[in-house]
Amino acid sequence: MSDLSNKHIVLGLSGGIACYKAAELCRALIKAGASVQVVMTEAAAQFITPVTLQALSNRPVYVSQWDGREPNNMAHINLSREADAIVVAPASADFMAKLLHGRADDLLSLMCLARPIQSVPLILAPAMNREMWQHPATQRNVTQLRADGAHVLDVGQGEQACGETGDGRMLEPEEILEDLVAFFQPKVLQGQHVLVTAGPTFEAIDPVRGITNLSSGKMGFAIARAAREAGAEVTLVAGPVHQATPRGVRRVDVRSALDMQAAVAQHVDQATVFVATAAVADWRLAQVATQKIKKDGSGQLPQLQFTENPDILAGVAQSERAQNGTLFCVGFAAESHDLLEHATAKRARKGVPLLVGNIGPATFGLDDNALLLVDAQGSQALPHASKLSLARQLVAEIARRRG
């Protein structure tokens, strides 16, 4: 199933140049499985035509509160009762001020006021000039709207249509979509702090060479996203990978195993869950060459001395907080064969309550995977699925085990 399957979203547009982004947001919502009903203010129709949104949503667009297409002439009631959420993007400074005071002089504001507050959430994506965003009146309005139960998203930062640069841009459509998907996920880790390691490490040989592996970090990044969706505060310690940081996740970039160990030590005291998905190099050079090692024509390999890297997961699992249950540790094992046997042995060796195994060569760099959960009672297979879907299943399992 898609992320928003069976969800009906009323997409509201108030007046602002960011209306052009609403077209892509509408398309993205439908691609994610939602049905979309567009409601625009007359000001919004000055920036983008209702015909455009009608073509993208495959539904008639509503602009006027006097629209005669509704048999009872109560579009503000009918449209709000059908919605799983009302998303206003863009939400202008004027429109948010109107909502704050309960004014309802157009269809969109009337619908927001008339919606059943307990069952139809209101999600606002602000969009305005940086001075308008920073104005004390706007900031007071945002604070009060949140206190009244509206979900006001962050704003973006960068160049604005007026030529100025700063906060106030509407988030990009994919960012709003990610926030909306997260909104509907069960908050099974609310109040938890999850620390995740992801990706490979890189152990330098000389200034241009090193030892690493094929881990892409996708599984760890998916777990970080799923934990954030589940309501947790998430810190992601990432090796050298080219993955976008999930929305709302704090990212710490590292390079070597020692770097990762130091970053984990810095953040683990605040964590209640530690998920070690990183493929940490087992060995590093005892002495890194300061200059590129050259061939000398002899055909002889250079003499390299290796030393064992620290076992980050085992070290955390042996800590007092892990031993008394304050910190729940989850390990990962990427194997090439005999997965159950190796994962079972690794769980016992690391001393963790839950070990997640997969066949590394079958998943490195891909967007899907299959997992094997191993604990003291036995094993449980999570069948082949997208890494994000598996991450959500794993997060739910962690929440269940934490009680």
Mean pLDDT for the stretch of residues 350-364: 88
Residue-number span of the structural domain to which 135 is assigned: 8-184
Contacts of 239 (CB under 8 A, 6+ apart): 197, 198, 199, 200, 201, 202, 215, 217, 254, 255, 260, 278, 279
Look at the chain and report how many structural domains it folds into: 2
Quote the pLDDT of residue 255: 97
**Average pLDDT for residues 79-104, to the nearest whole number?**
96
Q: Write down the pLDDT at residue 247.
A: 95
- The predicted model scores a pTM of 0.92
Same domain? For 176 and 265 the reply is no
Give the per-residue pLDDT at 1: 58
Residue bearing the bigger pLDDT, 61 or 336: 61
What per-residue confidence (pLDDT) applies to 83? 96
Here the CATH number for the domain that contains residue 350 is 3.40.50.10300
User: Tell me: the pLDDT tens digits for 239-258?
Assistant: 999 999 999 999 999 999 99
Averaged pLDDT score across all residues of the chain: 95
pLDDT digits (tens, 9 = 90+) for 146-177: 999 999 999 999 988 889 999 999 999 999 99
Examine residue 375 and state whether it is found in any structural domain, yes or no: yes
- Tell whether the model's pLDDT for residue 383 goes beyond 70: yes
Distance CA 376, CA 51 (A): 60
Whether residue 347 sits in one domain with residue 199: yes
What is the per-residue pLDDT for 246?
96
Residue 157 included in any domain: yes
In a domain, 3, yes or no: no
Same domain, 235 and 133: no
Strand blocks (E) in 29-180 = 35-40, 85-91, 122-126, 151-152, 156-159, 165-169
Two structure tokens written together for 392: 């959500």
Q: Are residues 106 and 227 in the same domain?
A: no
One domain for residues 103 and 145: yes
Residue 12 has pLDDT above 80, yes or no: yes
pLDDT value at position 68? 83
Q: Is 162 an annotated catalytic residue?
A: yes
- Residue 67 has what pLDDT? 86
DSSP codes of every residue in 121-147 = -EEEEE---HHHHHSHHHHHHHHHHHH
Q: Is the pLDDT of residue 363 over 90?
A: no
Confirm if 238 and 253 have CB atoms less than 8 A apart.
yes
Catalytic residue among 19, 26, 112, 162: 162
Does any domain span residue 30?
yes
CA quadruple 17, 21, 26, 31: dihedral, nearest 10: 180
Q: Are 140 and 257 in a shared domain?
A: no
End position of a domain, from candidates 184, 214, 239: 184
